[in-house]
A and B are shown apart, each in its own frame.
Chain A
Amino acid sequence: MSLLVNNAVIYANLLTLLAISLTITYITTSVPNFAQGSFAVFASYFAYLTYTIFNFPTPYFSIPFSIMFGALIGVSTYLLVLKPLIQKEASILILMIATLSWDLILLGLIGIFSESMSKMIMADASKFNFISLDFKLAGIKGILISSTLAVVFSLAFLFFLLYRTKFGVAMRASMENPSLAEIMGVNVETTRLFSWLLSGAFSGLAGALLPFLQETFQTTGQMIIVSIFAASIVGGLSTIYGAILGGYLVGLSESLVTFWLSKIFGMSVLVYTKAVSLTILILTLLFIPKGLTSVNWRRYIWRWKR
């Protein structure tokens, strides 16, 4: 039971990081990035590579490398794929298809990367995990501590950046209203590029930690993307608070609800983990399409008090 809760919290932490990544770029570029899952998985493979070639004592040392690698993917996504299309005034639909194509390109690159790596390290690199390489602190899994710290530090960094620096003000301005911000002298191009860098970096961080939780293979990104979308949409897709809320809600319920259902209906239910996030997604869209953060909670509390 404790193991279950542990894993649920770790998964929720990682999902929150990924949902934040998705939300940051959605706010600035207004494109849902269908390649977000592959960002993270590519970074996982990169973490594995740096771990093996530098012979680190633990894969945790790879984290800075995969953050940088993730940032690089984020920046190249914007510069190579989206910026040229945005300049041609392509519709959102076209931009979405472009990120879908980019996802396919990344999938191909991940495949090539992993197979070439297998040849290089003389071992099968198509599937791997770091579970046995994790440390334990006072009986607590290392990944539980590190993933929680990762979320805390990422959020602290993000809020410091957005609310305590001048660049953050510019960024928030261009998130709110890009054309007005441009008139006021904000370089929207730079803030957009920076948001893709941040998004890639957070995905890279999540990707470096993911193999500590579960087996990672080439198509993991294609499966995790549904949960990322569910988390972001539950929160409202366009606020960072929402991404945090949605990340934990979807992440925790995906593991815990499935476990609870498996107690009633038997182990065969465990196949349907992702159906839980789908159900949450659909219910949100049906009843509160703008997400949890759009609900005026104060009104309800006030009514309840009376």
Chain B
Amino acid sequence: MALETLISSILLWFGIYSIIALSLNIEYGYGGIPNFGKALAVLIGAFTAGAIVNRILISAFSIKGDTITQASGFMKSVVDEVIAANPAFGIGLLLFSLALAGLVGAAIGGLFILPSAKLESDYLAITLLAIAEIMFMIAYNNTALVGGYYGAPVPDVLAFVSGSVREWVFVGLILFFALITYLFLERALNSPYGRLLRAMREDAVALQFSGKDIMWVRIKTLAFSSAVASMAGVLYSYYAGNVIGIVNLFARVNWTFYPFLMVLLGGISNNRGVLAGVMSFVVIWRLLDGYKHEIASLLNLPFDVNWLQYIIFGVLMIVILYYRPEGLIKEKPIETEPLKDLRSKRSEKA
């Protein structure tokens, strides 16, 4: 495989997974909410792009088609031409979709945890997994919603950029959004809200005694983090040009398990650690994926290397849980203003 494609795919996935892993870190790392249904938030992103924005565009350009897949295909060719002539339309479309995904993600994320918000962690995890799993089943099997197993093409928001440059511009765009997410979450979680979440993770009962409504905190947290993760879903859908990459049944591995692995690898409730975890994971993953045919022929494997990949990542996760449950970079205390003052006073004395 060409080095260039390898690097661009590493950077692309680093960007996408950074957003998802950082959002998982809010729930699991800070809040201690075991969201085994993380994939749902990413699906909402694909859903916003493929089912909502596509339908808006189809009716705006009054396009006819028998199915959502067919109509989206016709719409894509029309809209791509409009974008090629008018870049602002493409960028506007992307921003509009991101904002919409944020809203829909927040709404559905809040609803998603509602049945289980009062439950213990094991019941909570089971319910979140079950809801996400079934939403995927419906999205995949029902072709009227977002194309199901046929998928639905989405317009190329960068249609004004020609051929090979598009890949790199898109990678840059995704990295830019990942950076914004990182900076934003770094601020948001070094606030009283971040400390509230950590307190909930450590001792929910004690927090309840100090007058906080645990259920409400959980609902808000899920709404917030789902909004963030659904933007990653939008970005990936627009990058791939189709929602099918997200709306498939294998989603639990790609959009729930891998983010968990990254967060635990990097270090929970530590955004910089999570980025390190994402980078290490993505490099291993892309190298394995890029050289899978070479590996298969070298070791003379009678099966698809993808299966081996699952085993490797499963074992890696268990090894991390056993040997380094704190991850690559340990959790640090939050730098509050009084703490900073204290530090500077101490250094003055010394």
Smallest beta-carbon distance B222→chain A, Å: 15
Q: Note all chain B residues with C-beta closer than 8 A to A85.
A: 321-322
Known A-B contacts A85-B321, A100-B36, A222-B252; the reply to A105 vs B315 at CB < 8 A is yes
Q: Note all chain B residues with C-beta closer than 8 A to A289.
A: 118-119, 123
Check A111–B137 contact: CB distance below 8 A: no
For B257, B303, B314, B315, the residue with the greatest tally of chain A CB atoms inside 10 Å of its CB is B314
Residues facing B in A247-289 (CB within 8 A) are 268, 271-272, 274-275, 278, 281-282, 285-286, 289
Known A-B contacts A226-B134, A278-B130; the reply to A109 vs B122 at CB < 8 A is no
Bound-state CA distance A286–B115 (Å) is 6
Smallest beta-carbon distance A24→chain B, Å: 16
For A30, A93, A268, the residue with the greatest tally of chain B CB atoms inside 10 Å of its CB is A93
Stretch binding the partner chain, chosen from B61-69, B175-183, B304-312: B304-312
Bound-state CA distance A153–B147 (Å) is 46
Stretch binding the partner chain, chosen from A55-63, A112-120, A156-164: A112-120
Secondary structure class of chain A's binding surface, majority of residues: helix
Bound-state CA distance A100–B313 (Å) is 11
Check B134–A90 contact: CB distance below 8 A: no
The interface size of chain B toward A, counting residues with CB under 8 Å, comes to 46
The chain B residue sitting closest to A84, CB to CB, is B322
Residues facing B in A104-149 (CB within 8 A) are 104-105, 107-109, 111-112, 115-116, 119
Check A282–B115 contact: CB distance below 8 A: yes
- Please tell me if A230 contacts chain B, counting CB pairs below 8 Å: yes
The chain A residue sitting closest to B125, CB to CB, is A96
- Please tell me if A34 contacts chain B, counting CB pairs below 8 Å: yes
Check A90–B303 contact: CB distance below 8 A: no
The chain B residue sitting closest to A229, CB to CB, is B126
Check B138–A97 contact: CB distance below 8 A: no
Q: Note all chain B residues with C-beta closer than 8 A to A107.
A: 253, 307, 310
Check A108–B321 contact: CB distance below 8 A: no
Residues facing A in B127-160 (CB within 8 A) are 127, 129-131, 133-134, 137-138, 141-142
Known: A105-B311, A112-B303, A229-B126. 4 other contacts (CB 8 A): A96-B125, A104-B257, A108-B309, A271-B142
- Which A residues have a C-beta under 8 Å from some C-beta of B? 30-32, 34, 81, 84-85, 88, 90, 92-94, 96-98, 100-105, 107-109, 111-112, 115-116, 119, 219, 222-223, 225-226, 229-230, 233, 237, 268, 271-272, 274-275, 278, 281-282, 285-286, 289
Q: List 14 A-B contacts (CB under 8 A).
A: A34-B36, A84-B322, A92-B121, A94-B325, A98-B318, A223-B137, A226-B133, A226-B134, A229-B130, A275-B134, A281-B130, A285-B116, A285-B127, A289-B119
